[in-house]
A and B are shown apart, each in its own frame.
Chain A
């Protein structure tokens, strides 16, 4: 690493370490009170970030100190009386000395100062690894109110030059405003124009302090990876893709911290050494892919490695034993098992390391994502590698919204979550009746439609337009009276006592002085789908697209067990959507395909538990699909059920000859019949 890069990385580390210490100090103060020890998890998560950053820039002394600082905090939990008070005093002193040490580094020294001798003395008797058992205990404590308050007061690091520019502009605006006040309150046209220009520039400067190219989260990452890989005796190259995303500064700062945890975990636990890779028949150099993109009003960060992957079987066993819920754990998919294990701070390693710890890193990422309203997904294949994705919502701080009206309500929907807007009625799309309420057939998709005003507890209004909103990879159409303009707003957060259910993420003022409530796309989608399920429990009228069979037991009474995945191949959009809804309602995990060719692609992506296919389809019909499935070794044993409207011997014979396992009549088909058939075929959920 060249000197300039090393210096730049050290500068980044100092800035981040200052923020870490600013977070650690108030948490440490809380340890005085023995009832506040739940903050230890949060303390260690932050210390862990600190430690990882120190490791990344090659400060082994600092790593040594912070590694033991974590252990010291864990030890507080298991001591009391004077011993605890002594540990607490020591912890505060360590933090004080660390502040000095960081200040020394920030002043230009490339090495920690003499205070490190004092730190080593203070921490000499702290042995980190004996605390492994405590570190991997399940994390169940909810963030305290005090922690939430601290989060709300999170600091932003911004360039001083931009703040200076904002101050100059604000001073100019104030001067003009004062001058016009002295002038008797008359605002001359020229002054008004000058005020408007200055205000816009001020807004732009302040907005840019918040919104930055997401690529900044990746700055220096490649150099960090190379340095860490070298230390670990591994050979890893990095591929990065940022897709020109812009995000607010705080989300990016959080994302960067989470990203580093994942990268360190991948380097330390995921990638094999070149020799191990060679013996496994892999290229000696590993590849780490990091991608940022924006979807569903969130920043998505994906870290993919081609290392050894997780031992899901071992993890499933450990989780079953730890939770004492073997039945529930056995019903989880591999991905769900990995996420639950990660969330609990679990590790299958016996020894913590100073690079990525003992599973705390991954659990920190899960906790951070969820605390911000995002989520984490994890996929892994033994021997082939792992992919971790996390999301962070963007709309909380600064966002562009489309304003819409429903009756007297005026609302804002983040444009990043809007797929499209359509006109309803004459000259536009006509809503139709589906089994779970009104639907829109739009762009080869069937989308649930609900009047937004009604959904929010008011009147339905005239719903002249529909806004198609996408979140959590699902779409809904929201009927509105009027469409307004797309405009950029910085919403004010609402207090929990006023918006406990997160339906409204904030309230903002529009340029005309009117206020608008900014809605949470995820919550809207969830509301529509909940209402859809509720409607499915009601008797279905004559106009329904299919005849619904007697309702099954309520969801709460459904038997426990693994969700069976169904691939449904059906060329009729309406039938496909109706069957999908009916099967999902019965607890099946349903994917769909429009014909036999698409079904083969879906099967190649992921093998379902059962294929349910229409008999007659264009391009590749049911029997052809069944033959294709049987011809591939991976899918040769996949149960195939053919659906047809014809109940005749010839069709049955043709289906059987193609390799189908069962043959069901569409008019009789329902989820219960599918379960019965699967049971007969030996497929149990």
Chain B
């Protein structure tokens, strides 16, 4: 298609890859954290809750900077990953996924947590009296019932990942084809003389994608609710 230039397609395709990896990586962890927040009580829970939500209220550039300090070439984890496995996160698409995963994690946890809290614990207890073990109860009762929340959390996180700017540019810079996602491509286009048309196209595209993501999240949630007969 010739509506977008090669540079714009590259940014769009890369954004999809980065956001997909980010969501797949973060989803299991988000379900676990949401479960802990919804169902358990422990001292320091308020603090834990705060920590989980921190990326939502912290300046994204701070998140990017902290990632750089921790996962950079001289950071404690970054240096170890490189020595042990030859993995590099700074300036790579994998690093961009990590940054977007951290930024969108709270959005995912919030949606999933609400879904878990809405699950009728009486059903789980009934299953327990009928002899179902904890894993069985989770797999056949809790997980299906919380699925709308998981789905909408994943889709919202995906849409937010497509749009993450500050953490990405600070942590992995702005490399075409490697870390230059949609918002970074827009930023570059705005800076470049004669880049206005490209910036406008990409901006319109990212708006459409964000809206599509939100609508998809809502539709998915409705569909699953219908399937569950509620």
A binds B: no
B→A interface (CB under 8 Å): none
